[in-house]
């Protein structure tokens, strides 16, 4: 246990002024747990309120603030930074055989910007909250706004720069810091997917930034840009917002797909099926993802031609996503499957992501979307992608790399129990919401007709299981930190470069520069798993 990144200094200063990507990843990790709990608390209140058709816990106004808070925290302060800034920050340099990210100081600056943005947004929330919904649609955020919209927008604006800097750092690192012999087609697919994610972070986030600047300028100068009362165009806000926020959906799923590539191959003991297709599918998703934003606006009054094009493009973007799902399935075929906890998460991801993706195709159909707009069908769809997909992948990746990050093994029994509970709890929470949506229950209301109560009660019951399952890892992973067995360098017999260094890695990652000669996912020649 001598001389690893964790033992390299114990002072606060050695953590808060560190430029080691591994320590910065831990800083992000701790911050994200905190923010996830806040966002989760809001979700809990929402689900408790919805158990009965009447309003019994909160007023309409408070309810508006609750779902807005849930959305803003979960999207910008949990999902977007989740895998890139914690697992990505930790693993990317290790995976490509580098000693750090290209710009270590920028990496630390990005964490501080993130924390500043989070602090400003939390201030807005605790001073009274925002009642616009996470989309900040005008005129809610202008004409009718009587809440802390400007402050929250400032927080999101600042956090956006943190995203941009992280994306920039990853792009440069992946281009320039790869180990000798590690050509593009030898890279683990996690790197390809984070590369695609970074392109979106760098190119989409500034559009959100300028949109928020204009939202602020509108207030300062009193001139209508988006506010129809003074001559602005609220639809323009929607276009600009979704030009960022739809690609942001891919920021929230591509890293999850990247993690799943690593897990499926490792626990099938096989190389990935169709490496190049999966690699380019990530970039295809990133590129096509920029051209589908109008599918959020089918009922907004945009032209029918525009809607048709956006509908078509939304089907197009499903193709590379489907390629990935088929390739994962083909990788499982005739593999030597092992059902360790990370694998259970990965399999859960494939099922839930497929559900979310297919219902996304329903919504890409113009006629059905008009019927389902702003119903629980939409809510269920994107939760299947973001929670069923991304959060499950995040947990899977966390379990997979936990021994590398902490140098400790956790209880596989409890980890598997949590993975199964998450899958069951998730489906019980969100599947009923598809039915509610088809039956016509609109989102964002806290009172509803009594005939919807059964499904709502089931959903809230499922949420209880889901919440308990999300809390379980706090205990067994926390326990492992102090009492877990010491992890060997490569407990799963995996192939990535990150497994060739000790667990936890030394400060500069590798004792000597690794050189890559073997193809990616070369499981025919991989060492045996040590936890069999």
Partner 1 sequence: MPEPDEIAAHLSSSEQRDEILELGMWTFLSTEVLLFGGLILTYMVYRHADPQSFAEAGRQTRIVIGTINTAVLLTSSFCVAAAIQAGESGAAKAVRGLLAAAIVLGLIFLGLKGVEYLGEYRDHLVPGIDFEQSGSHAQGIRLFFMFYFVATGLHAVHLLCGVIVLAIFLRCAFQVARNARYLAGLRTAGLYWHFVDVVWIFLYALIYLPGRSG
Secondary structure of 378-437 as H, E, C letters: HHHHHHHHHHHHHHHHHHHHHHHHHHHHHCECCCHHHHHHHHHHHHHHHHHHHHHHHHHH
According to CB under 8 A, which one of 50, 73, 120, 207 is a site residue for partner 1? Answer: 207
How many amino acids of this chain bind partner 1 (CB under 8 A)? 42
412-439 and 376-383 are packed helices; what angle lies between their axes, rounded to 10 degrees?
A: 160
> Do the Cβ atoms of 157 and 117 come closer than 8 Å?
yes
Residue 218: count of CB within 10 angstroms of its CB: 20
Min dist. Cβ of residue 223 to partner 1 (A) = 4
CB of 299 vs partner 1, minimal distance in Å: 21
Burial class (CB in 10 A: 0-12, 13-18, 19+), 301: exposed
Segment interacting with partner 1 (CB under 8 A) among 130-138, 161-169, 274-282, 395-403: 161-169
d(CA 172, CA 141) in angstroms, rounded, equals 37
| For partner 1, the closer CB: 122 or 156 | 156
Answer for which of 13, 183, 231, 305 binds partner 1 (CB under 8 A) is 231
Asked if 124 contacts 148 with a C-beta cutoff of 8 angstroms, the reply is yes
- Terminal CA-CA length for the chain: 23
Binding characters for partner 1, 81-110, by CB under 8 A (x = yes):
-----------------xxxxxxx------
Residue 421, exposed/middle/buried by CB under 10 A (0-12, 13-18, 19+)? Answer: middle
Nearer to partner 1, 173 or 480 (CB): 173
- Which of positions 234-263 make contact with partner 1 (CB under 8 A)? 236, 240, 243
Rounded CA separation 332/528 (Å): 18
Q: Which of 69, 108, 158, 164 binds partner 1 (CB under 8 A)?
A: 164
Q: Which DSSP category does 337 fall into? A: -
For the record, the structure tokens of 303 come out as 């032209």
Check residue 171 for interaction with partner 1 (CB under 8 A): yes
Phi then psi dihedrals of residue 334, to 5 deg: 60, 20
Residue 148 carries which DSSP code?
A: S
Verify binding: residue 301, partner 1, rule CB under 8 A.
no
387 forms part of the interface with partner 1 (CB under 8 A): no
| Residue number, 38 or 207, with CB nearest to partner 1 | 207
**According to CB under 8 A, which one of 30, 33, 127, 210 is a site residue for partner 1?**
210
Indicate whether 175 belongs to the interface with partner 1 (CB under 8 A).
Answer: yes
Q: Which stretch binds partner 1 (CB under 8 A): 131-139, 169-177, 427-435, 471-479?
A: 169-177
Q: Cβ distance 53 to 450 under 8 Å? A: yes
> Of 26-34, 230-238, 298-306, 354-362, which segment contacts partner 1 by CB under 8 A?
230-238
> Any contact of residue 202 with partner 1 (CB under 8 A)?
yes
Please, what is the minimum distance in Å from the beta carbon of residue 380 to partner 1? 32
Query: From the list 41, 109, 177, 322, which residue makes contact with partner 1 (rule: CB under 8 A)?
Result: 177
Candidates 3-11, 45-53, 219-227, 264-272; binding stretch for partner 1 (CB under 8 A): 219-227
Per CB under 8 A, the list member of 489, 508, 529, 530 interacting with partner 1 is 508
**CA Rg value for the chain:** 23
CA–CA gap between residue 153 and residue 156 (Å, rounded): 5
Q: Is 33 in the site for partner 1 (CB under 8 A)?
A: no
Nearer to partner 1, 213 or 319 (CB): 213
Nearest to 330 by CA among 281, 271, 376: 271
- Residue 510: strand, helix, or coil: coil
| From 30, 119, 127, 213, residue interacting with partner 1 (rule: CB under 8 A) | 213
- Note the residues at the interface with partner 1 (CB under 8 A): 98-104, 164, 167-168, 171-173, 175-177, 202-207, 209-211, 213-214, 217-218, 220-225, 231, 233, 236, 240, 243, 508, 513
């Amino acid at each position: 246990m001598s001389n690893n990144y964790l033992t390299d200094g114990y002072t606060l200063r050695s953590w808060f002024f560190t430029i080691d990507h591994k320590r910065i990843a831990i800083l992000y990790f701790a911050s994200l747990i905190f923010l996830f709990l806040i966002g989760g608390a809001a979700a809990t209140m929402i689900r408790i309120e919805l158990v009965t058709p009447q309003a019994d816990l909160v007023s309409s106004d408070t309810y508006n603030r609750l779902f807005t808070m849930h959305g803003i925290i979960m999207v910008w302060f949990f999902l977007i930074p989740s895998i890139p800034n914690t697992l990505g920050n930790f693993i990317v340099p290790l995976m490509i055989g580098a000693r750090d990210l290209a710009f270590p100081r920028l990496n630390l600056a990005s964490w501080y910007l993130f924390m500043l943005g989070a602090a400003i947004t939390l201030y807005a929330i605790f001073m009274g909250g925002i009642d616009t919904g996470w989309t900040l649609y005008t005129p809610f955020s202008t004409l009718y706004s009587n809440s802390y919209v400007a402050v929250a927008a400032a927080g999101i604006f600042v956090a956006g720069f943190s995203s941009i800097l992280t994306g920039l750092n990853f792009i440069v690192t992946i281009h320039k810091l790869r180990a000798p012999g590690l050509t593009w087609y030898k890279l683990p697919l996690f790197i390809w997917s984070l590369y695609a994610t970074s392109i979106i972070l760098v190119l989409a986030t500034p559009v959100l930034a300028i949109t928020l600047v204009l939202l602020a300028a509108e207030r300062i100068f009193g001139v209508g840009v988006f506010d129809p009362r003074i001559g602005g165009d609220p639809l323009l806000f929607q276009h600009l917002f979704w030009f960022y926020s739809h690609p942001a959906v891919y920021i929230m799923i591509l890293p999850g797909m990247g993690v799943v590539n690593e897990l499926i191959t490792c626990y099938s003991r096989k190389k990935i099926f169709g490496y190049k297709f999966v690699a380019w599918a990530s970039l295809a998703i990133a590129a096509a993802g920029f051209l589908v934003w109008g599918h959020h606006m089918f009922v907004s009054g945009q032209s029918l031609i525009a809607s048709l094009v956006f509908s078509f493009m939304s089907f197009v973007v499903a193709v590379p996503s489907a390629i990935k799902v088929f390739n994962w399935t083909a990788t499982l075929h005739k593999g030597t499957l092992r059902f360790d906890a990370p694998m259970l998460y990965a399999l859960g991801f494939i099922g839930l992501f497929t559900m979310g993706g297919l219902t996304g195709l329903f919504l890409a159909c113009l006629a059905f979307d008009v019927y389902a707009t702003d119903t629980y069908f939409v809510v269920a769809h994107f939760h299947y992608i973001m929670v069923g997909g991304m959060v499950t992948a995040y947990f899977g990746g966390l379990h997979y790399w936990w021994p590398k990050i902490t140098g400790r093994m956790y209880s596989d029994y409890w980890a598997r129990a949590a993975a199964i509970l998450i899958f069951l709890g998730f489906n019980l929470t969100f599947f009923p919401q598809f039915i509610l949506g088809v039956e016509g229950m609109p989102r964002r209301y806290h009172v509803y007709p009594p005939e919807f109560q059964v499904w709502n009660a089931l959903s809230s019951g499922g949420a209880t299981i889901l919440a308990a399952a999300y809390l379980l890892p706090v205990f067994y992973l926390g326990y492992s930190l102090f009492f877990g067995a010491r992890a060997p360098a490569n407990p799963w017999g995996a192939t990535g470069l990150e497994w060739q260094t000790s667990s936890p890695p030394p400060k500069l990652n590798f004792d000597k520069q690794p050189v890559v000669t073997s193809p990616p996912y070369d499981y025919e020649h991989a060492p045996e798993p040590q936890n069999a």
